[in-house]
Structure 1
């Protein structure tokens, strides 16, 4: 899927720092130089050995509270290329707590006319991540990082369509769940809708891949699968060079997820 979400151009979500950065993403477009990834159906789960994770109920699974820094990662997503190992990732519990204030104000930060999240919507985002993670084997920290990259955690983020319709918290591939489609707002956003937004972004839709499919498509069996999956989720493909900053859509997308 090719995604041109305005939120993804501005967000800097990270698995290592997990705190908002003041730096803007280096968004841009380039000519396609890639192997295309096929669309996948709904209900995906991670099958790559060593990467599938079904113990996401453990929310204290990382390295403390993180730091508010930004580093631009280049190359193929491997630790040999300088990308973070999974042992250096922040815990999900700390990560969500760090982002909670940003999530609360996410909608007005995107558009001052949008109502901000209430406590029930924030709780629904948290629970939706856990439900999707446990159903698909995708690490809950990756799901949260993609949500922050795509929508800052605003369930009323606009449904974009620049060739591919991208609704909801994860701006997924033509999913059903949205609380802002053609400027038709739903406030508050119902809990089942929020849960479905996250499940569609993680497990896929009838039109395209979710994070689980993207991880399987990467298929390396190491931490680079997460960063490669983020790039596939953003642009639908990885450059033939293997470098995650190459190709169309948001060039630093995978780096923003990792930072």
Structure 2
């Protein structure tokens, strides 16, 4: 059950671009008039370095979904596996070495691997997950593969998953089991709209983005540290992400496995 910390910033944009389904940054069209050409040319020369700078700090607008590129199809997905790997020692650098972003499956392949584990055989219902994931990814800058893996780790993609109530009375809701997020508990999945699914996905993704940018607990904006924070709210003093610190010890490594084709 996730416990959250909150803040803002994205570190996934460059990785998205390399993998072919990044948010698209709108182009800038400059129209020159004859009277302004000398001034504008000078301004362009002075600002060239700015436009050439890395775009990893690009801030996503909450209404930027219209600027998202249409994603390329996944192509042929590798066969899913029941063999679960471990990452030892469980430090962030170990995960980054063992499970680099370049090795993550396409989000559609993660969905394919889990589509029959969602509690329904109706693919019309299961398909409601896809677009909300890509939409939330575009609007927040969080990698869609990571969002998809978290969903299946938290709820197996069951749209009407029950809430989890903590001893302190707080509630983790929805398909990303995140506090203060919408819950479709008890609903007939066929009546849950794609927009309602998006509400659950966007809320959980915002929580995860906060964990990515926690200034004290995750100053390097590491996704594996963020996963530990998403699940337990803290990292063990040892830095071992396999230490649940009172929560689910295998949480981070199981999300890593889902990113590589494992299902349970």
TM-score if structure 2 supplies the norm length? 0.66
Cα contact 2:176–2:201 (8 A) shared by 1: yes
Over 3 Å counting, the alpha-carbon distance change for 1:94 and 1:47 in structure 2 is closer
Q: How far has the Cα of 1:253 moved from its partner? A: 0.4
Give the match for residue 172 of structure 1.
178
Cα contact 1:159–1:178 (8 A) shared by 2: yes
Q: How far has the Cα of 1:61 moved from its partner? A: 9.4
Deviations 1:198-230 (A, max 9, x none): 000001xxxxxx111111223426xxx222111
> Could you tell me how far apart the structure 1 residues matched to 2:131 and 2:195 are?
11
Match of 1:236 among 221, 233, 237: 233
Say whether 1:149 aligns with 2:153: yes
Say whether 1:201 aligns with 2:204: yes
Cα contact 1:73–1:255 (8 A) shared by 2: yes
Q: How far has the Cα of 1:146 moved from its partner? A: 0.6
Structure with the larger RCO, 1 or 2 (CA within 8 Å, 6+ apart) = 1
Query: What's the secondary structure of 1:237's corresponding residue?
Result: coil
Q: How far has the Cα of 1:121 moved from its partner? A: 2.6
Say whether 1:220 aligns with 2:220: yes
> Could you tell me how far apart the structure 2 residues matched to 1:63 and 1:252 are?
25
Runs of 4+ in 1 over 6 A off after TM superposition: none
Give the match for residue 105 of structure 2.
90
Say whether 1:257 aligns with 2:263: no
More helix by share: 2
What is the number of equivalent residue pairs in this alignment?
199
> Could you tell me how far apart the structure 2 residues matched to 1:142 and 1:85 are?
12
Give the match for residue 2 of structure 2.
3
Over 3 Å counting, the alpha-carbon distance change for 1:253 and 1:61 in structure 2 is farther
> Could you tell me how far apart the structure 1 residues matched to 2:76 and 2:143 are?
12
Q: How far has the Cα of 1:101 moved from its partner? A: 1.9
Over 3 Å counting, the alpha-carbon distance change for 1:228 and 1:62 in structure 2 is farther
Any gaps of 5 or more consecutive residues in structure 1? 5-36, 107-115, 204-209
Larger Cα-atom Rg: 2
Give the match for residue 113 of structure 1.
none
